[in-house]
Amino acid sequence: MRLTLQLVLLAALTACDAPPPEAPPAPTPPPVVEEKAPVGPLSVGELAAAEPVALVPSPLEMQAALKRSGLLGPQGLLVKPRPLKAAGEDHDRLAVRTGVALADLLLIVQTAQTPELVGLLKEIRAGLVALGAKDDALSALDELTAQVQNEALTRDSLVQELDALSGGTLPELEAQLGPRAVPLIRAGSWLEGANLVSSSIIAGGNYDTATDLLRHPGVVAWFQRYVEETPAGRPDQEQLVPILRESLKSLATATAAERLGEAEVRQIHQSTAAVLDLL
Amino acid sequence: MINLFLRLSLLVALFSVAALVRPVSAGEADDCLRNKMLEGYAQGWSVRTSTSASLKEGESRVYSVTLYKGAEYQIFACADAQAVDVRLVLHDADGQVLLNEDAVDRQPVLTYTAPATATYYVAVHAADTVSDEAKAAIGMAVTWRQSP
């Protein structure tokens, strides 16, 4: 009985503390949309100071540009089989070589025989394994290779898969492969693409198209930054890095010309070939 | 079998070391970017590359992009919920503004057909975040297709 009385008293006290009933809510004012500050131009110095990351054209994009110029035959770009030299433990060389194989695969996917595609897929896999790719990345590549072997994919679907590998997945592998490998894989793909495009221009003798196809100063400048950051004194890089550095210096001049002519195209072809021959 | 590799990249993001050190919500930006890339394939877009950055309010990241004359480009970004407003601005090689995506949103898109093959610059700005301390995960992709 006493307990009941206490509870009643407690309830009465709580009721006294309770807030008064709320007034009906005021109508919500419309959201305030902040005015955006106008975005002004950036000076060339500001752009350089920002150390922009280069987003390099893909081999398929280079091939499409060649097609628009009327320089691409029905057989596509003539990718030559490239006998590979032993890369040993040189990760830079492995990365550039993997990029070359990826470019070759993208460029011949519509025209090549299945064994050739499988060979390049295995080469890419071996490169990624040596560079430190984990099982999750490799298993997808294995699944794709099996589908190519069984001819379970149309070539159009395969182009799309490889495009997604090159453009979507590769950048995300940076965490597994380290900060240098992905840009150097891109460098390999670009070098192969630029070499093949310059070959096509030389073969067709149509130098008027060169400016639209090969004027890529930002790309070369980006690769130069990476090569300049190479730690000195690694014996396994004694051969590749100096030639890569010299080739990029020459490419920087040729690809930055206001108008590219025969001399620049031949220079691009020669400089890209000098690096590719080392792989 | 639509894009084994874009599905795979989800796994890579989940299990990679980067996933452990990136903001928890980085996956939201990545997923959004991946979905946009997949949708793009259906409309004839191909992917040049994708990239990501983690930016505080007022910070920017600048990318240089060589665009080909005659190709159509779509550049898009996806930010996580730490961002309120993300801007994409396309500059020419002299720094002049060519395009400025000025809607207040987290998924800006720019579409551009280059008049000449040249180097251009894309600036990604974290214009507004949920707080001064917030760091927004912002993914960006450059896609291309033949001009219609």
Nearest-neighbour CA in chain A from B26: distance (Å): 12
Q: In chain B, which stretches have pLDDT less than 50?
A: 1, 10-24
CATH number of B4-146: 2.60.120.380
Per-window interface: A 37-56 vs B, CB < 8 A: 39-44, 46-47, 50-56
Contact B48 A167 (CB under 8 A): yes
Q: Which two tokens stand for residue A263?
A: 């001399």
What mean pLDDT is predicted for residues A259-268?
96
Which residue in B has a C-alpha nearest to residue A258's C-alpha? Answer: B118
How far is residue A83's CA from residue B3's CA, in Å, rounded to a whole number? Answer: 31
**Chain B: closest CA distance from residue A95 (Å):** 17
Residue type, A178: G
pLDDT for the residue numbered A25: 58
Chain A residue numbers with beta carbons less than 8 Å from the beta carbon of B3 are: 160-161, 164, 168
Q: Average pLDDT in the A117-142 region?
A: 91
Residues 176-215 of A with CB under 8 A from B: 176, 186, 211-213, 215
Chain B positions in Cβ-Cβ contact with residue A169 (cut-off 8 Å) = 5-6, 8-9, 12
**Burial profile A94-125: b = 16 or more Cβ within 10 angstroms, e = fewer:** bbbbbbbbbbbbbbbbeebeeebbebbbebbb
Q: Give residue limits of the domains in chain A.
A: 55-276
DSSP label at residue A235: G
Residue A159 has pLDDT above 50, yes or no: yes
Residue of chain A whose Cα is closest to the Cα of B143: A167
Whether the per-residue pLDDT at A133 is higher than 70: the answer is yes
Which residues of chain B have a CB within 8 Å of the CB of A36? 85, 87, 102, 104, 127
In this structure, what are the phi and psi dihedrals at residue A187, rounded to the nearest 5 degrees? -60, -40
Q: Where are the domains of chain B?
A: 4-146
pLDDT in tens, B48-77: 999 999 999 999 999 999 999 999 999 999
CB-nearest to B66 from A60, A144, A219 is A219
Instruction: Let me know how long chain A is.
Output: 279
Cβ neighbours of B37 in A, within 8 Å? 164, 167-168
Q: How confident is the model at residue A237 (pLDDT cuts 50, 70, 90)?
A: low
Mean pLDDT of A151-166: 90
State the smallest CA–CA distance between residue A52 and chain B in angstroms. Answer: 5
Q: What is the pLDDT of residues A66-125, one digit of tens each?
A: 888 888 877 777 787 776 665 566 788 889 899 999 999 999 998 899 999 999 999 999
pLDDT at A92: 83
Contacts of B17 in chain A (CB under 8 A): 175-176
Hey, is the C-beta of A259 within 8 angstroms of any chain B C-beta?
Answer: no
What's the burial of A257, exposed, middle or buried (CB within 10 Å: 0-12/13-18/19+)?
A: middle
Q: Is A89 on the interface with B (CB under 8 A)?
A: no
CA B58, B63, B69, B71 dihedral sign is negative
